[in-house]
Structure 1
Amino acid sequence: MRIVIVEDEALLALELECEVEAAGHQVVGQAMNSSAAISVIDTEQPDFAFVDIHLLDGPTGIDVGRHLAGRGIPFVFVTGNLKRIPSDFVGAIGAIEKPYTVNGLQNALAYISRLVEGEGKTAPPPSLVMASA
């Protein structure tokens, strides 16, 4: 998958990029604020995105999520505070709570990959809070 990472903490973004690439996916862009995120999304046309809720320009990850949903691009929120996610998840598949473990992230990414590629549904890993929950 071609993946965009929207995260304002550089070390977390780098760690996430390393895990995504180790799983065989391609990171096609990173952004630390909402305007950069929307620009990368529109330019790169990713297959999937990881989106933090609180970015350099405030809690604008929700707006980025709405933009992704409007374009039909699946995404998950990656956040330290699940309570900040609107009850409808603005179209996200779900959320991964920070701090996450590498194993938890790998399990969530494997599940998301299968889901995005249209493979049979299996139970989500505990590290992924599903929007329908």
Structure 2
Amino acid sequence: MRIMIVEDEALLALELELEVEAAGHVVVGTAASRKAAFDIIESSTPEFAFVDVHLSDGPSGIEIGRRLAEREVPFVFVTGNIKRIPEDFVGAIGAIEKPYTMNGLQNALSYISEKVAGGQTVSPPPGLILAKAC
């Protein structure tokens, strides 16, 4: 799967990138701001995205989520404050709350990969909070 990472904390972005690649996926871009994320969406056509809510330019992750939803790109929010996510999750599959464990992230990525591929999924892993529509 071609995955975009939207995270303004460089160490977390790198950690997430390494985990995504170790799971056999390709990172098409990493963005720390709304503009950088919009550029990646337009130029790289990701198949999935991890999106932090609060970025270097403020709480613009919600806007990025809306843009992804408009383009029917599945995504999850990765945030330290779940309460910042609107009740409708702006089209996200769900959210992963920081701090997360690498094992929790790997389990969530496996679940998400299966869901995006249209396969039959089992119960979501404990670290993944699903949006009500999912």
Give the alignment's TM-score, normalised by structure 2: 0.98
Q: Offset at 1:76?
A: 0.1
Residue deviations 1:20-64 (CA, integer Å, cap 9, x gap) = 000000001010000110110111001000000000100000000
Q: Percent identity?
A: 69
Runs of 4 or more above 4 Å deviation: none
SS of the residue corresponding to residue 123 of structure 1 reads coil
- What are the ranges of 5 or more consecutive residues in structure 2 without an aligned counterpart? none
Alignment map for 1:49-60 (pairs within 5 Å): 49-60=49-60
Note if 1:3 corresponds to 2:3.
yes
Determine the structure 2 residue equivalent to 1:118: 118
Q: Offset at 1:122?
A: 1.5
Count of matched residue pairs: 133
SS of the residue corresponding to residue 63 of structure 1 reads helix
Determine the structure 2 residue equivalent to 1:90: 90
Alignment map for 1:36-115 (pairs within 5 Å): 36-115=36-115
Q: Offset at 1:121?
A: 2.6
Question: Residue 128 of structure 2 aligns to which amino acid in structure 1?
Answer: L
Give the alignment's TM-score, normalised by structure 1: 0.99
Determine the structure 2 residue equivalent to 1:29: 29
Question: Residue 43 of structure 1 aligns to which amino acid in structure 2?
Answer: S
Q: What is the Cα-based RMSD across aligned positions, in Å?
A: 0.8
- What are the ranges of 5 or more consecutive residues in structure 1 without an aligned counterpart? none
**Whole-angstrom distance in 2 between the partners of 1:121 and 1:19:** 21
